[in-house]
């Protein structure tokens, strides 16, 4: 673990709402006068065992109810960035889905204002380079996603990218082709959850019909060797989340996790936490799980860290600086 702990890395797949620790959820509930449906943090934690994405999402949305005021979004983001920085994360590209909170009439300015202030303060405090990717929810309509894009306009220059999350089955990327085209026209970087529970064809749709630059998860590409070869040839990064895939029963066993075969095939795979308290680990726990179950050594772990920067939407000069830091870590640790 010590090689992993100080390994410089980027995290490219983490949902801010999914970083809410149970203690913090209860603290924010008390602060906002909200009664949670669980007696205690232990009672809540006892529910962190899921049969799939659609079993997990209602609990995740229930937890979101404690996020009300600007300072709640600030505290949430600040806590995640503090934790990430302590795990060697130098760059964090974080997902956030405003539609959950717009349903409760919480102004976008309060949501995004709190998050962006925390990103700025963390940059000063620890040097971590945080960035925001706003996700639309695919169980809703494309018209709702386009409305969200409109609501983001005042914040355009503070938002790095646009993604798509929530219930995948039955909600293919093709449903959001016009949404992604509109986001591209506005200059956003584009990424899409695909191939977590959905078939490989959803990954192809995200690339071919939505023009996304990166695939979040991409797990089911393992069923389609031609697609794996294409991902490698085209340099499409996959933001994989091993502990999430285990907890959501996407994969039965990490000893056969396809990240090893993707690496061998030349795919730019990365390791991420998704929703860390819910799935039993932050980013370093995910690296450690792969080290343990796949027998990855320092060279492979460093390759994954390099991929995390290469797959990021950071400027080339920042990527080069980070790659030099990974090389230095490898040199001093060996």
**Known catalytic residues?**
196
196 binds, among ligand HPA, Zn ion, none (CB under 5 to 8 A by kind): ligand HPA
- The CA-atom distances, in angstroms, between 45 and each of 21, 29, 55, 63, 196 are 10, 16, 15, 12, 23
In the complex with ligand HPA, which residue's Cβ is closer, 245 or 312?
245
What is the nearest approach in angstroms of Zn ion to the Cβ of residue 14? 8
Nearer residue to ligand HPA within complex by CB, 282 or 326: 282
Q: Which residue is nearest to Zn ion (CB)?
A: 274
Q: Which does 18 bind (CB under 5 to 8 A by kind): Zn ion, ligand HPA, none?
A: ligand HPA
Q: How far is the CB of 15 from ligand HPA (least distance, A)?
A: 4
Query: Closest Cα to residue 4, out of 316, 277, 273, 318?
Result: 273
Residue 162 sits at φ, ψ, to 5 deg, of: -130, 140
CA dist 66 and 201 (Å) reads 37
List interacting residues with ligand HPA (CB under 6 A).
15, 18, 53, 60, 165-166, 193, 196, 244, 274-275
Residue closer to Zn ion (CB basis): 110 or 196: 196
Chain-centroid distance, C-alpha 271 = 10
CA 152 to chain centre: 20
Region from 59-67, 127-135, 171-179, 272-280 binding Zn ion, contact rule CB under 5 A:
272-280
End-to-end CA gap in the chain: 14
Contact 115, 73 (CB under 8 A): yes
Out of 243, 274, 301, 330, the only residue in the binding site for Zn ion (CB under 5 A) is: 274
Rounded to 5, what percent of the chain is helix, strand, coil?
55, 15, 30
CB of 217 to ligand HPA, least distance (A): 7
Contact 184, 208 (CB under 8 A): no
**Number of residues located near Zn ion, criterion CB under 5 A:** 1
Q: Write down the least CB distance from residue 166 to ligand HPA, Å.
A: 5
Smallest gap, in angstroms, from Cβ of residue 74 to Zn ion? Answer: 22
Residue with Cβ nearer ligand HPA (53 or 296): 53
* Closest to Zn ion by CB, 93 or 274: 274
53 binds, among Zn ion, ligand HPA, none (CB under 5 to 8 A by kind): ligand HPA
Q: How far is the CB of 245 from ligand HPA (least distance, A)?
A: 9
Q: Give the separation between CA 209 and CA 171, rounded to whole angstroms.
A: 14
Distances (CA, A) of 33 to 36, 106, 274, 323: 10, 16, 28, 46
Asked whether position 168 contacts Zn ion by CB under 5 A, the answer is: no
Distance, CA of 304 to CA of 284 (rounded, Å): 12
By the 8 A CB rule, do 279 and 247 touch? Answer: yes
Q: Which is nearer to Zn ion, 75 or 274 (CB)?
A: 274
Q: Which one of Zn ion, ligand HPA, none is in contact with 291 (Cβ closer than 5 to 8 A by kind)?
A: none
Smallest Cα–Cα separation from 287: which of 9, 13, 85?
9
Return residues touching Zn ion (CB under 5 A): 274
């Amino acid at each position: 673990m010590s090689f992993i702990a100080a390994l410089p890395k980027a995290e490219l797949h983490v949902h801010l709402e999914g970083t809410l620790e149970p203690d913090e959820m209860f603290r924010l509930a008390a602060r906002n006068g909200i009664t949670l449906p669980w007696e205690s943090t232990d009672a809540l934690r006892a529910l962190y065992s899921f049969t799939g994405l659609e079993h997990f999402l209602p609990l995740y949305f229930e937890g979101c109810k404690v996020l009300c005021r600007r300072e709640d979004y600030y505290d949430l983001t600040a806590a995640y960035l503090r934790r990430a920085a302590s795990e060697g994360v130098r760059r964090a590209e974080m997902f956030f889905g405003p539609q959950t909170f717009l349903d409760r009439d919480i102004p976008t300015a309060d949501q995004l204002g709190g998050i962006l202030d925390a990103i700025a303060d963390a940059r000063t405090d620890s040097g971590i380079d945080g960035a925001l990717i706003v996700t639309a929810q695919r169980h809703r309509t494309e018209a709702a996603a386009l409305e969200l894009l409109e609501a983001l306009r005042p914040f355009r220059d503070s938002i790095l990218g646009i993604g798509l999350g929530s219930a995948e089955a039955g909600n293919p990327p093709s449903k959001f082709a016009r949404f992604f085209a509109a986001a591209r026209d506005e200059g956003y970087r584009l990424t899409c959850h695909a191939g977590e529970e959905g078939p490989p064809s959803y990954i192809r749709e995200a690339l071919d019909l939505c023009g996304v630059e990166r695939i979040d998860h991409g797990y089911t590409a393992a069923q389609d060797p031609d697609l794996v070869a294409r991902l490698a040839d085209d340099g499409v990064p996959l933001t994989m989340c091993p502990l999430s895939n285990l907890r959501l029963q996407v994969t039965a066993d990490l000893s056969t996790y396809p990240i090893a075969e993707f690496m061998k095939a030349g795919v730019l795979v990365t390791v991420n936490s998704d929703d860390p308290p819910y799935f039993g680990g932050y980013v370093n726990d995910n690296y450690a799980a792969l080290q343990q179950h796949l027998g990855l050594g320092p060279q492979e772990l460093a390759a994954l860290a390099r991929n995390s920067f290469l797959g990021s939407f950071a400027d080339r000069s920042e990527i080069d600086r980070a790659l030099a830091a990974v090389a230095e870590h490898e040199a001093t640790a060996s």
